[in-house]
Amino acid sequence: MNSFMILILFLVGLASSAVAPGTGECSAYTQQIDCLNSGYCKWNGSSCVLYTSNQDCYRIDEIGACRANGKYESLCMPLDLLNIEYKNVCGITTTIDYNFVRYPIVTTGYPHFSISGLTLAQLKVAKPQINFLFQVLTVNIQIAPNKELQDILDLYKEYEVTFQNVTVHPYYLEKCLFQTLQNLRDDTQPLSSTDKQNTLTKFWSIVQVYQKKMAFYSKHYQTNYYFLNFAQTTFSRLYITIEGQDHTTSLTWVKYQRNGYIQAVSYTPKLFGINDALTDVVYINVIAEDGISFINIENMEIIYTQTTGTLTNISRQLKFISDKTQIPHTFSSSLTSTPCDEIERTCKFTLPSPLIDSQFIFYIQK
Ligand SMILES: *[C@@H]1O[C@H](CO)[C@@H](O)[C@H](O)[C@H]1NC(C)=O
Ligand SMILES: *[C@@H]1O[C@H](CO)[C@@H](O)[C@H](O)[C@H]1NC(C)=O
Ligand SMILES: *[C@@H]1O[C@H](CO)[C@@H](O)[C@H](O)[C@H]1NC(C)=O
């Protein structure tokens, strides 16, 4: 036997002794980095262990762990449809749950300074110059611990005026917003309710910067990021539709006293402690052309349409949210629909005419 053949036999021996991805014991990994690189184990501070709740199935990166003989064979399911847009490969069912879509984490850059080494504090002082805005955009939101995440949101707010510049695409604000929600949702450090509420308060202040920009950026606009979606249209179109998983939520209206915009942001109910939702949570902002709050819109209706499966013809409840900064959200009043139409798979809710509030937040209950 020559040494080449010995090498081949050695390599074959190695390959047969290695276990298939997702099937080995987590305790075999003694270093945190190897544990996390396995794609299905978590580090508990001192040891490498398995997740024990199916609420964590969405965090798994190694699909082998969810297939037959995998470590989560009986806890999680492999997803039927895998999309390169997101990292999810396992779930509680074989269908991706939009509430838990994980965008890939980019590890370039830092959460406490820009690519050229300016700290968050230095960038704060440098505002509102546009060349510094492009430094702000290199700060890594995805890997930021909560303290830095909140500091970054404060920094974005400082650049409010610069973001309004037409040369800055709204995507940068959208990216900040969906990365913030993903960061908050997937943070494995225990967060106090104050930290969560402070993060959300800052999140909503960036939404405000975004909406202010959109009122001048484009009349009609729509983008979807699974657990966070944006839409805007003019009063003259008489309706706006927001797409969610297996459903759409539309608003229709008949008359308006002057021109303006309906702005909608829809977002994941599950992050906000809402588990009985048929729809995403929808935040509506009604403004006149000049950006000022507006309520003189008549005969507004909210129409829920289910796009798959069946819908029974009972009446549904629409619940208004009183405080969108809280986890869980708190509620104020509710509306009852007419009996849902099981053929069209729609339910309809009638709002006061004219509107009472220029801003309202709601979801429709199962
Ligand atoms: C981590 O897991 C090991 C092994 O299961 C266990 O002995 C240890 O108590 C755990 N530590 C923490 C902080 O949960
Ligand atoms: C918008 O940005 C451009 C450079 O991208 C700059 O020349 C212009 O002055 C900015 N406008 C305002 C109003 O800041
Ligand atoms: C719901 O549908 C069933 C069967 O089609 C019908 O008998 C019933 O009257 C309907 N209920 C309402 C409230 O429309």
Boundary (domain end) residue, out of 194, 216, 238 = 216
Measured from CB, residues less than 6 Å from any atom of ligand 3 are 313, 339
Judgement on whether residues 43 and 171 belong to the same structural domain of the protein: no
Please tell me the residue having the least CA distance from ligand 1 atom 2: 47
For residues 29 and 62, the answer to whether their CB atoms sit within 8 Å is: no
pLDDT of residue 128: 83
Measured from CB, residues less than 6 Å from any atom of ligand 1 are 44-47, 49
pLDDT in tens, 293-350: 999 999 999 999 999 999 999 999 999 999 999 999 999 999 999 999 999 999 999 9
Domains in the chain, number:
3
Judgement on whether residues 241 and 321 belong to the same structural domain of the protein: yes
Whether residue 193 is predicted with pLDDT greater than 80 in this model: the reply is: yes
Query: Which positions ≥6 away from 322 have C-beta within 8 Å?
Result: 330, 331, 332
Please tell me the residue having the least CA distance from ligand 1 atom 6: 47
Boundary (domain end) residue, out of 216, 240, 259 = 216
Please tell me the residue having the least CA distance from ligand 2 atom 7: 130
What sign does the CA torsion over 182, 187, 190, 192 have? negative
Ligand nearest to the CA of 337: 3
Q: What percent of the chain has pLDDT over 90?
A: 92
Ligand nearest to the CA of 347: 3
Boundary (domain end) residue, out of 170, 186, 216 = 216
Distance between Cα 43 and ligand 1 center (Å): 9
pLDDT in tens, 263-289: 999 999 999 999 999 999 999 999 999
Ligand nearest to the CA of 169: 2
Helix (H) or strand (E) segment spanning residue 177: helix 171-186
Judgement on whether residues 191 and 235 belong to the same structural domain of the protein: no
Q: How far is CA 244 from CA 292, 307, 366, in A?
A: 28, 10, 15
pLDDT of residue 3: 55
- Confidence band for 17, pLDDT divided at 50, 70 and 90: low
Judgement on whether residues 135 and 232 belong to the same structural domain of the protein: no
In a domain, 14, yes or no: no
Please tell me the residue having the least CA distance from ligand 2 atom 1: 165
Ligand nearest to the CA of 35: 1
Q: Cβ–Cβ contacts within 10 Å for residue 14, how many? A: 9
Judgement on whether residues 165 and 183 belong to the same structural domain of the protein: yes
- Confidence band for 2, pLDDT divided at 50, 70 and 90: low
In a domain, 304, yes or no: yes
Judgement on whether residues 69 and 162 belong to the same structural domain of the protein: no
* Cα separation, 71 vs 58, whole angstroms: 14
Judgement on whether residues 170 and 75 belong to the same structural domain of the protein: no
Q: Please tell me if the CB atom of residue 167 comes closer than 6 angstroms to any atom of ligand 2.
A: yes
pLDDT of residue 162: 96
Judgement on whether residues 60 and 133 belong to the same structural domain of the protein: no
Please tell me the residue having the least CA distance from ligand 2 atom 8: 165
Judgement on whether residues 225 and 298 belong to the same structural domain of the protein: yes
Judgement on whether residues 227 and 365 belong to the same structural domain of the protein: yes
Distance between Cα 23 and ligand 1 center (Å): 20
The range of the structural domain enclosing residue 338 comes to: 218-366
In a domain, 303, yes or no: yes
In a domain, 114, yes or no: yes
Distance between Cα 195 and ligand 1 center (Å): 26
- Confidence band for 1, pLDDT divided at 50, 70 and 90: very low
In a domain, 308, yes or no: yes
In a domain, 102, yes or no: no
Judgement on whether residues 63 and 177 belong to the same structural domain of the protein: no
In a domain, 103, yes or no: no
Q: Cβ–Cβ contacts within 10 Å for residue 203, how many? A: 21
In a domain, 12, yes or no: no
Helix (H) or strand (E) segment spanning residue 282: strand 281-288
Judgement on whether residues 234 and 332 belong to the same structural domain of the protein: yes
| Atom number of ligand 2 nearest to Cα 161 | 14
pLDDT in tens, 68-100: 999 999 999 999 999 999 999 999 999 999 999
Q: Residue 336: helix, strand or coil by DSSP?
A: strand
pLDDT in tens, 21-68: 999 999 999 999 999 999 999 999 999 999 999 999 999 999 999 999
Please tell me the residue having the least CA distance from ligand 1 atom 7: 47
Which CATH number do you get for residue 223?
A: 2.60.220
